[in-house]
Structures are given as structure tokens and as C-alpha cells.
Amino acid sequence: MSSHVKRVLVHRRFSDLDPLGHVNNVVFHDYLQEARVGLLRDLDFVRGPGFSQVVVKQELTHRKPLLYAPEPVIVEIWVERIGNSSYTLGYRILDEHDDVAAEATTVMAVVDPQAGRPIRMSDELRSILEKAQT
């Protein structure tokens, strides 16, 4: 595992389960959000003067079901790609046995907060994201 991969522990809640006893598919996106917010918080760059960041695309592939367990789910997150006005985050969701339960990506756009339109990423943000890139 690269040193640029952040590992976030997320505890499953009973309310995460569907009637079959699996973690509901929608909840997987909550787990990704926990990891994403944790990474951006650690990078200390969620917002800056004149820009904000928004999710524009998220894809998730389920590999195996997650069942309830007292051990946390591990969400690995890293920066996969950096463009001019967007970047892509990669994820792996691991169960308590370190088996891959899901893989995902999120495309984040850098936008003008007033206009809501994409803008060119600042050199400062690019430099910070590069520190978390694999």
C-alpha cells in the first residue's frame, strides 16, 4: 500500500443493514463520504478563497456483501488523477477480514462558489492534492 493511501475506519451501525442483513448499497456511499471528508480535512483544503469543491460523478462496484460486525469497515482513499478543474479520488472498502467489498471513484470539480461553474484549479490546491496522489 502506498504511503499516500489514507485508511479511514467506519463503524457499521445496525441501521445500515437492509432486510437481508447486508449493509444497504446506499450506505456504501456514506462510507465513501466519511473517507472523502476525512481526507480533505487532513489536507486542510476543503475551501479556499474564491473556490469550493463539489462531487460531479461517483461510481461504485460491489465485490461482496458487508454484513454486520463489531469491527469497523476500512475505507482506503487516495488521489488518482488531477486535471485542470477536477480531480479523481479512488477508494477500496474492506471488510473486517481485509477482503475488498467494493471499489469506487469520485470526480470532484473545483467551482466558483457564486456562479457554481468549474474554474481552473489553483497551483496551491494542485500542490496539496499531489501530496495525496498515488
Mean pLDDT for each 10-residue chunk of the chain (134 residues)? 81 94 96 94 74 94 95 96 97 97 97 92 89 81
- Beta-carbon count within 10 A of 107 CB: 17
Which pLDDT score, from 0 to 100, does residue 33 have? 96
- Beta-carbon count within 10 A of 66 CB: 24
Which pLDDT score, from 0 to 100, does residue 1 have? 46
Cell of 123: 497551483
Q: Is residue 11 part of a domain?
A: yes
Q: What distance in Å separates the CA atoms of residue 103 and residue 63, rounded to the nearest whole number? A: 8
Task: Give the CATH number for residue 46.
Answer: 3.10.129.10
Q: Is residue 49 part of a domain?
A: yes
Q: Is residue 61 part of a domain?
A: yes
Which pLDDT score, from 0 to 100, does residue 13 have? 93
Q: Is residue 1 part of a domain?
A: no
11: three-class secondary structure by DSSP: coil
- Beta-carbon count within 10 A of 88 CB: 15
Q: For 63-99, list the strands marked E by DSSP.
A: 73-82, 86-94
Q: Is residue 40 part of a domain?
A: yes
Which pLDDT score, from 0 to 100, does residue 133 have? 85
Q: Is residue 122 part of a domain?
A: yes
Domain membership of residue 84 as a residue range: 6-130
Which pLDDT score, from 0 to 100, does residue 47 have? 65
Q: Is residue 70 part of a domain?
A: yes
For residue 93, the Cα-to-chain-centroid distance in whole angstroms is: 10
Q: What distance in Å separates the CA atoms of residue 128 and residue 18, rounded to the nearest whole number? A: 38
Which pLDDT score, from 0 to 100, does residue 46 have? 61
How many independent structural domains does the chain possess?
Answer: 1
Q: Is residue 38 part of a domain?
A: yes
